[in-house]
Amino acid sequence: MFSLFSLMVLYPFWQTFALSFSDAGGASTLGVHLWPDRWVGDAYRFVFSYQNILVAYLNTIVRTAAGTALIVIFTLLAAYPLSKKDLPCRNYFTVFFLVAMFFSGGLIPNYLLIKNLGLLDNRLALILPGAVNVFSIIIMRNYLMTIDKGLEESALIDGAGYFKILTRIIIPLSKPVIATVALWAAVGHWNAWFDAMIYIRDPSKTVLQMVVREMMVALDLSQSQFGGGGGMSNANLLLSNVRAATVMISIGPIILVYPFAQKYFIKGIMIGSLKG
């Protein structure tokens, strides 16, 4: 049963992979596509020849790495004090975070804030607004509350400060929840495009998902078959080939990262969500 379920999950991914390497003849046939009749890379050559695609790819990698690091750091710095039951006004701080999680100013106030901060057409506009994720803070706070307080008390008796306790004891014991928060942050930054559409005007600062969206919109307007650059013709490429190639390119890095974080993911989310 589990094997059948695994095949059902993997089949759409494999079909997309096979379609991205198929020629127009193989992609246009009906039925199950498990193996291309002829392996061709025209779809990938077309995608990577699109304007600014490589620059956008690099921008997305930098955004994902920097944004994930900031979210993990700020989440730790906020969750660690909130996990202390003797923290003055702890409940008020928690309520403050929860209100910010459920209510926001909306699109126009956010845009005006970014504009007044001078971050329009700045890469920081894609990173700083989401650097504090309240949901991740609550999950991490709940996880930190499960750590044995005796470890921290022993370190305090030995003369360690709270910052040293955080870096030497808490962080090594919190790998599951840190990996969970980092995975959420990385996926969110990698897939984001709406903020780039609003705040970024310089094509050299745009992100991959925005370029992919523009390319798909342009291709949809050109009907189902089209001629591309790089020596390709209608006989070699279909719109479905390009769509499959863009999917593979877009999800590639996340697919590679996920197996390394998966072993921590379930433990981190379960413990962090159950402790009150």
Residue 208 maps to a domain: yes
Please give the C-alpha separations between residue 208 and each of 58, 93, 211, 249, in angstroms, as whole numbers.
8, 37, 5, 10
The pTM score is 0.81
Q: HEC string of 2-29?
A: HHHHHHHHHHHHHHHHHHHCCCHHHHHC
CATH at 46: 1.10.3720.10
| Residue recorded with tokens 């971050």 | 119
Q: In sequence order, what DSSP letters do the residues of 214-274 get, joined into one string? A: HHHHHHHTT-S----STT--TTT--HHHHHHHHHHHHHHHHHHHHHHHHHHHHHHHHHHHH
> pLDDT tens track of the chain, all 276 residues?
777 877 877 888 888 888 888 876 666 665 566 677 778 788 888 888 888 888 999 999 999 999 999 999 999 999 999 988 888 888 888 888 888 888 888 889 999 999 999 999 999 999 999 899 999 999 899 888 888 888 888 888 888 888 888 888 899 888 888 988 998 899 899 999 899 999 998 888 999 988 888 887 777 666 544 444 433 444 456 777 788 888 888 887 777 777 766 666 665 555 544 444
Residue 69: inside a domain: yes
Is 7 part of any domain?
A: no
In a domain, 109, yes or no: yes
Residue 2 within any structural domain of the chain: no
Q: How far apart are CA 62 and CA 196, in angstroms?
A: 14
The amino acid sitting at 219 is L
Here the tokens at position 261 are: 């974080």
pLDDT in tens, 135-152: 999 989 988 888 888 888
Query: What radius of gyration, in Å, describes the C-alpha atoms of the chain?
Result: 23
- 5, part of any domain: no
By residue range, what is the domain housing residue 42?
14-274
Comparing CA positions, the residue from 221, 256, 219 lying closest to residue 241 is 219
Report DSSP letters for 180-201, one per residue. HHHHHHHHHHHH--HHHHHH--
Q: Is residue 44 part of a domain?
A: yes
**Rounded CA gap, 130 and 237, in Å?**
39
Identify whether the C-beta of residue 77 lies closer than 8 Å to the C-beta of residue 178.
no
Number of domains in the chain: 1
pLDDT 10s digits, 29-53:
655 666 777 787 888 888 888 888 8
